[in-house]
Structure 1
Amino acid sequence: PLSFALSSSRPPSSPRSYLLDLALLLLGGSALLIAIILWFDNAQGGLTGNGVFKSLELKPWIVDPANAPLYPANYLFYPFYGALCRLLDLLGIFAGDPRRQMTILNAVSCSVCLAIVYALIRAVTGDRLVALLAALFHLASSFVMFLAIINEDILPSYTVLIAAMALGSVLLAQPSAPRVIAVSGLFSLAWLMEWRLMFPTLPGMLAALWLCEPRLARRIGWIALFLLGMVTTAALVAWAWQGHDKSVGPFELIWTGKAVRSVWAGFTWPKLFYLWDGMVAYLLGAGVAAIPGIPGWDIWRCTATVWMIAIAAVALPLLWRNRTDPLARSLAAIFGGTFVAGTVFNLYSQPQDPQMQINVMAWLTVGWALLLAVVRKRNGVRGLAALGGLTVALIAYNVWSLAPLRGLDSAWQRAIERLERESDPSRTVWLMHDFDWAMIYGSLHWGWTEPGTAELGPAPQALPRFKWIGFTGQVLRHPDWSDQRLADDLRRQIDRALELGYTVMVVRLWDMDLPQLEVATGMVASSARLAVLRRLLHHDYVAAPAYVDPIAGAVHRLQRRPGR
């Protein structure tokens, strides 16, 4: 254990108590999170619709795994979760509904994370109570809790990654060939489930090997062995799936190129603000700001910032004073290196996204554990009780912050049913923002289809039921197109739908001003690009109010402007 965490007055814990603690975290954590899932009634979480489309891609791995396609960037995720969903089907848990089954599996994955955090902090500090409170803090963190109760796909990959980071922090402090190979293999399984997890953590792993080995030749050797372990693991996985639909080789697994040249990629100044937003939201939920009478989100942003600075102000000097201890070096290198490299990586991609921050901000739990150790040494159990109470308050606040998003699954199901009653799907083409919840739930209840009108026949046409045009559809698919080309393509799609005899219904978009569009679109399109698309709609078309849905919002009937 680290020297600063030792306390001769603390009695040693028995193996029985260790196993009891792990069981408590696994079973208690799962029960708590599943209870929140049932209360929340919102499998998508209200922030992203990725889970809907992930569940659609997961379905073949449940019903016909032998013929289901592999995805290089998530090579092991779909086979793994597909098998677990089949198990839930046998148990009768949300049978036939992978969209909600994923929430249960994520809750269990998060509980495994709690056990891993406990084991790591117990190994670092030798303190049972500090380890339990650190695990509780990890659960309390907003993004960790949030991703554990919705159907995003990051939790199983993150669980394996946090296990690799924890194991690396302990084993790479004194590297040997078996230790390096073990950590490398476990780390590789994580990024083989979610490819992008490789980039934030790999620099930290290599930094730990460099800092914990005093001899230069062995430093280079350990790093080479770690990288060889990654290649070997990728090769074994590629060999195991050889011949399966859309299987690839090891080098295609190591570099999939996912989203590297997408509309989300690239460094821009606004992403600095999004980065700050993502970091503070990792700790404190923002949903409560939607409740009338509650002060604005800036208060919570500043509160989280001060909280994180306070943790760093204690943890960093503590690690620096113990820099001669290899365990302190490996801990700082892996978790600190992941934070530094991940921050740069996130600035290139989506820094405000919970999935992008959950692994990068894992240092906060380690820092909190070191703070707990210091308080334990100086103030005893009373100090730990105070910080434990603060953690419980954090859990309560972050659950409370979910309240404005509660029940959206049921509410949107009713909204889609109302839209279908008001507008015959066989004669309607919907014009929607690609990130609007009407599109997400329309895809869920009517069936997913690609946006556009190129494949449509004359109205009425029963299938596909969901026929729609994406307001930013071509922006997402062709970020290199000029603003004028994007506007021309949007006009062409709308005109074709009208010429084929369809009614074009606009959901919520017509009344949106430019600032509202910017908020809805995020980093995907510039203000100037959105202004061009909005100007096209209002210049070339007129819209008559059709009805207002309490959930979906205002719906307008679109027609060509006279004289066009």
Structure 2
Amino acid sequence: MVFVTSSTRSSPQGGYAADLALLAIGGSALLIAIILWFDNAQGGLTGNGVFKSLELKAWVVDPASAPLYPANYLFYPVYGALCRVLDLLGVFAGDPRRQITILNAVSCSLCLCAVYLLVRALTGDRLVALLAALFHISSSFVMFLAIVNEDILPSYTLLFASMALGAVWFARPTTARVVAVAALFSLAWLFEWRLMFPTLPAMLVALWLGEKHPALRVGRSALFLATMAAMASVAALASHGHNGAVGPLDLLWTGKAVNSVWAGFTWPKVGYLWDGMVAYLLGAGVAAIPGIPGWDIWRYTATVWMLAIAAVAVPMLWRARHDSRAVALAAVFGVTFVAGSVFNLYSQPQDPQMQINVMAWLTPAWALVLVAAQRRWGARGLAALGALTITLLAYNVWSLAPLRGLDGKWQQAVERLEKESDPARTVFVLHDFDWSMIYASLHWGTAEPGVEALGPAPQALPKFKWIGFTGQVLRHPEWTTEAHVADLRRQIDRALELGYDVLVARLWSMEQKQLETETGMVADSARLAALHRLLRTDYAATLAFDDPVAGPFHRLRRAPGR
């Protein structure tokens, strides 16, 4: 017997309010402490938070005219209002880039409450529910996204809550339960549209299997979909006339990133998918062992750990397959995992934001491991797994150490960069994912890459002038390699003709393997090699300066004979 009945409760009842307060307040305090220690709102993986915070700023300063974005329809209005509250409280006042981290920490702590309620509803065990919540916050991607300024946490919290509710209520669905779960689920994807896809089929499968009357199965599924459409209609009606407002059909299908450079199935993404799955549990950080080909502690330890969890949880669910609660739990979280893995293979399988919802199965599966350990070894089993979870949390925090303090370090690097090169007379050639681009955009102001709008040097505005090494690959993936090479040459030549110093950051001396790693799935190795070869054959370079944080900057000039 896996799930609780009135005669199998193994821990005292009550304590809900105290436990939820502990998770909400204690979880927030822990995460905010890590935020202050980490001093790196960007997290060191992507620069999305910089650009999200700049878009959010409009919702803080002038919400009446700030634009709505269909793929994040509720995120900006809600987080904008919450940032105004933080302004009033004096918490990172006027700095949405860092305020997002605080809001994410609080959101994550609320997600821990959802974990607790799910596990306690299924097992009836207070201690198992608390330990499952501890495991959730200890998982690398959950903790990491709760302390940086990515935008996924509020939508993920709503999504997990809807999944938890579906896993409990769809065991015995009613009209009210279907509407409630569908409404909560819709709020999640109205914050972040792409979250709809892995979990929508999971919800429908769980609902179909949970409904015992064949005549009602189609009706329940139709009700779920109709509630989603109704929620989209309410959101569209409430925002009617606002800047960027769209209709319900445009909310149900935004098409975000469907035809982007990230889209498409390729064999290298299988390896990225593995990396994304294992990194959900364990941070790579300090664990990788360079110089030992084909082996590192991080990847294989996480793989074995997750397989061990599945090896315990899946047979437990299979033995309980006649219990509708086991069916609903397996359908909601299992189908989300399967559908999400396929979805991620089409997009960015290594990205924390793409894996956090797909790997949500690991927490309820860990709860089943806790139940199994308690049955076999009693309190000693739970104590051992609790200690293991605390070790996981400590390790994942420790893995952040190499990225600690980057906000301050990069601010100083940009200040040094301004002293070494006059921004009015300089055009930078940067990898589009380089941190020099991210932090220059933050401190000097955002600017689109390219030289089309530039006049002769010197030109004060925009202060940040740059050419993206893979800029046109991102914007025009349909172009041929020859077209990308020709466009990069044209832009660099034009900047030189206008009298600018052209400084290339890090790219000049970068090895092909490192270039491929930093570019990820955006361009194949042949295209990257052709772009890199262009720099070496058409231009000569001299080292201008070497910054301890930003790396080497080389000054380009046309190669002799061109």
**Where on the TM-score scale, by shorter chain, does this alignment land: which range?**
over 0.9
| Alignment of structure 1 residues 286-435 onto 2, 5 Å | 286-289=284-287, 298-435=296-433
Corresponding residue for residue 12 of structure 2: 12
**1:2–1:325 contact (8 Å) kept in structure 2:** no
Call closer, same or farther: CA 1:9–1:431 in 2, change over 3 Å: closer
Call closer, same or farther: CA 1:369–1:545 in 2, change over 3 Å: same
2: CA distance, partners of 1:186 / 1:423 = 52
Corresponding residue for residue 452 of structure 1: 450
Corresponding residue for residue 524 of structure 2: 526
**2:11–2:127 contact (8 Å) kept in structure 1:** no
**1:6–1:125 contact (8 Å) kept in structure 2:** no
Call closer, same or farther: CA 1:26–1:177 in 2, change over 3 Å: same
SS state at 2:478 partner: coil
- Residues 341-388 of structure 1: per-residue CA shift (max 9 Å, x gap): 000000000000000000000000000001101111221111000000
**1:289–1:297 contact (8 Å) kept in structure 2:** no
Query: Pick from 464, 469, 472: which aligns with 2:470?
Result: 472
1:476 Cα deviation (Å)?
0.2
2: CA distance, partners of 1:21 / 1:463 = 55
Call closer, same or farther: CA 1:297–1:52 in 2, change over 3 Å: farther
Give the partner amino acid of 1:136: L
1: CA distance, partners of 2:336 / 2:482 = 41
2: CA distance, partners of 1:23 / 1:184 = 27
- Residues 514-534 of structure 1: per-residue CA shift (max 9 Å, x gap): 111101101000000001111
1:289 Cα deviation (Å)?
3.5
SS state at 2:448 partner: coil
2: CA distance, partners of 1:293 / 1:406 = 24
Corresponding residue for residue 121 of structure 1: 119
Corresponding residue for residue 248 of structure 1: 246
1:4 Cα deviation (Å)?
6.7
Query: Pick from 487, 491, 494: which aligns with 2:492?
Result: 494
Corresponding residue for residue 503 of structure 2: 505
Corresponding residue for residue 230 of structure 1: 228
Give the partner amino acid of 1:287: G
In structure 2, stretches of 5+ residues that fail to align are none
Corresponding residue for residue 283 of structure 1: 281
| Alignment of structure 1 residues 28-47 onto 2, 5 Å | 28-47=26-45
Corresponding residue for residue 160 of structure 1: 158
**1:286–1:297 contact (8 Å) kept in structure 2:** no
**1:289–1:296 contact (8 Å) kept in structure 2:** no
TM-score (norm 1): 0.98
1:152 Cα deviation (Å)?
0.3
- Residues 109-149 of structure 1: per-residue CA shift (max 9 Å, x gap): 11001111001000000000000000000000000000000
SS state at 1:559 partner: strand
Corresponding residue for residue 136 of structure 1: 134
1:97 Cα deviation (Å)?
0.4
Corresponding residue for residue 98 of structure 2: 100
Query: Pick from 180, 183, 186: which aligns with 2:184?
Result: 186
1:11 Cα deviation (Å)?
4.4
Output the aligned Cα RMSD.
1.5
| Alignment of structure 1 residues 3-82 onto 2, 5 Å | 3=3, 8=8, 10-14=10-14, 17-82=15-80
In structure 1, stretches of 5+ residues that fail to align are none
1:10 Cα deviation (Å)?
2.5
SS state at 2:467 partner: strand
Deviates more, 1:271-280 or 1:167-176: 167-176
1:168 Cα deviation (Å)?
0.8
1:300 Cα deviation (Å)?
1.4
1:218 Cα deviation (Å)?
0.7
2: CA distance, partners of 1:554 / 1:300 = 30
**2:10–2:124 contact (8 Å) kept in structure 1:** no
Give the partner amino acid of 2:152: I
Call closer, same or farther: CA 1:197–1:79 in 2, change over 3 Å: same
Query: Pick from 110, 113, 127: which aligns with 1:112?
Result: 110
2: CA distance, partners of 1:6 / 1:539 = 77
- Note if 1:274 corresponds to 2:276: no
Q: State the aligned residue count.
A: 562
2: CA distance, partners of 1:173 / 1:403 = 44
1: CA distance, partners of 2:278 / 2:80 = 33
**1:431–1:506 contact (8 Å) kept in structure 2:** yes
Identity value in percent = 73
Query: Pick from 432, 440, 443: which aligns with 1:442?
Result: 440
1: CA distance, partners of 2:69 / 2:440 = 25
- Residues 419-466 of structure 1: per-residue CA shift (max 9 Å, x gap): 000000000000000000000000000000000000011111111100
Give the partner amino acid of 2:138: A
Call closer, same or farther: CA 1:33–1:3 in 2, change over 3 Å: closer
Give the partner amino acid of 1:71: Y
1:157 Cα deviation (Å)?
0.4
Call closer, same or farther: CA 1:31–1:74 in 2, change over 3 Å: same
Deviates more, 1:234-243 or 1:213-222: 213-222
2: CA distance, partners of 1:12 / 1:211 = 32
2: CA distance, partners of 1:5 / 1:426 = 72
1:2 Cα deviation (Å)?
4.8
Give the partner amino acid of 1:130: V
Call closer, same or farther: CA 1:115–1:435 in 2, change over 3 Å: same
1:298 Cα deviation (Å)?
2.2
2: CA distance, partners of 1:483 / 1:416 = 33
**2:495–2:502 contact (8 Å) kept in structure 1:** yes
1: CA distance, partners of 2:9 / 2:339 = 39
SS state at 2:146 partner: helix
- Residues 137-193 of structure 1: per-residue CA shift (max 9 Å, x gap): 000000000000000000000000001001111111111111101100110010010
Deviates more, 1:3-12 or 1:491-500: 3-12
Call closer, same or farther: CA 1:295–1:484 in 2, change over 3 Å: closer
Give the partner amino acid of 1:244: H
1:13 Cα deviation (Å)?
1.4
2: CA distance, partners of 1:215 / 1:8 = 29
